[in-house]
Structure 1
Amino acid sequence: MLGVIVFAHGSRDPQWRLPVEAVAREIQTQAPEARVGCAYLELSEPDLPSCARSLIGQGAREVRVLPLFFGMGKHAREDLPVLIQQLREQHPDVRFECLPAAGEHPALTRLLADIAIGKAP
């Protein structure tokens, strides 16, 4: 079973989470058979290990982590790989895949350009 974690930085402002949670809801809508959760690096909960444990407890055996970072800064480049390796060590029977930072995906780049020039659906 597939699990997807939408992973973001985190903030003390509870409204900051709304777009992150909207992405998770859209994933759940498009893949109702998947287990989906949000996790945060700091300042918000749950953290990545807690979210992963929850999805695994719900039956996920493959977990994809979608980093909602605009670019490959220190968190995506250094902190996240360490967290993913720890998860792999803690859950050797689960396959973890860390996707590229969302902001570096060509489809998102095109969508942002479309929004800027008024072509977005």
Structure 2
Amino acid sequence: MMGPHGIVLFAHGARDVRWAEPFERLAARLRELRGASAGTVSLAFLELMTPDLPAAVAAQVADGASVITVVPVFFGQGGHIRRDLPVILDQCRAAHPSVEIRCSTAVGEDADVIEAIAGYCLRQAF
């Protein structure tokens, strides 16, 4: 039997702890939408904040996740997503070979996200 399917929202990180507030709200909303039995939703950061991605993945594995999807909460596919993230994902996969670790594209690459942002911008202009 397969364990729960976890989601890790992966963001850049910043020195100012308030920077993480929208990501925390996003994680909380995702938890509401999924329900408690669907699996863990957690945050991870590339730098300057904790936990990092390996620690977040390890925590989900400890909670019983057998599949984890990493969702880069970046606007585009810059160097961190193209260079840094694949290396970190390989480290996570090597550390947890029995867990399927997936990765989506950066959220800003999704057409629905672009539409939502465009709608927001229009609402702000009027």
TM-score range, shorter chain: over 0.9
Kindly provide the amino acid, as one letter, of the partner of residue 44 in structure 2.
A
1:56 and 2:66 matched: no
Instruction: Output the TM-score relative to the length of structure 2.
Output: 0.91
Partner of 2:8: 5
Deviation at 1:118, TM superposition (A): 2.2
For residue 49 of structure 2, what is the amino acid of its counterpart?
A: S
Q: Which runs of 5+ in 1 are unaligned?
A: none
User: How large is the Cα RMSD of the aligned pairs?
Assistant: 1.1
Between Structure 1 and Structure 2, how many residues are aligned?
119
Identical-residue share of aligned pairs (%)? 37
Give me the whole-angstrom Cα distance separating, in 2, the residues matched to 1:95 and 1:64. Answer: 8
Q: Take 1:4 and 1:48, find their aligned partners in 2: how far apart are those partners?
A: 11
Q: Does 1:30 align with 2:30?
A: no
In the alignment, the residues of structure 1 paired with residue 118 and residue 77 of structure 2 have an alpha-carbon distance, to the nearest angstrom, of: 19
Which residue does the alignment assign to 2:121? 116
Residues 1:46 and 2:46 are matched in the alignment: no
Divergent runs of 4+, >6 A: none
How far residue 65 of structure 1 moved from its aligned partner, in angstroms, is 0.5
Instruction: Select 2:99's aligned residue among 53, 75, 94.
Output: 94
Q: Give 2:90's aligned residue.
A: 85
- The whole-number CA distance in structure 1 between the counterparts of 2:89 and 2:20 is 22
- CA–CA separation in structure 2 for the residues paired with 1:79 and 1:68: 14
* Equivalent position of 2:19 in the other structure: 16
Unpaired stretches in structure 2, ≥5 consecutive residues: none
Tell me the TM-score normalised to structure 1 length.
0.95
Q: What displacement does 1:111 show?
A: 0.5
